[in-house]
Amino acid sequence: MELTQCKKCEQPYMTFEILGVDQPCPYCNKGYDKDRGVYKKYNVERLNDPEGKHDNCEYFVLDLVHDKFAKPALLAYADACEEEYPELAAELRQMWRE
């Protein structure tokens, strides 16, 4: 990740080198999500990491209320983690039954 400053609005924003594509400023390009791909939209903070193991981790946020693709993504994650984390898998599936 790298902090970049927009040349147009001068707002700082994070870019991700691993994506290998130019990422538009999230402040100048509001409302263009379908054309943007992956970009920095949220700041996520780990609450229980006293040793700092996850200080440089990258996260992906799903909007469980408005994003129609979040449910199948979360259910696929539940399937993938079920053997190692059965309680997590069960709780993820339960979220959609309530």
pLDDT digits (tens, 9 = 90+) for 69-83: 999 999 999 999 999
Residue boundaries of the structural domains of the chain: 1-44, 62-98
* pLDDT, tens digit, 9 for 90 and up, residues 20-52: 556 667 777 655 566 667 777 788 888 888 888
Q: At what angle do helices 70-81 and 86-95 cross, to 10 degrees?
A: 160
Handedness of CA 44, 59, 88, 48 (dihedral sign): negative
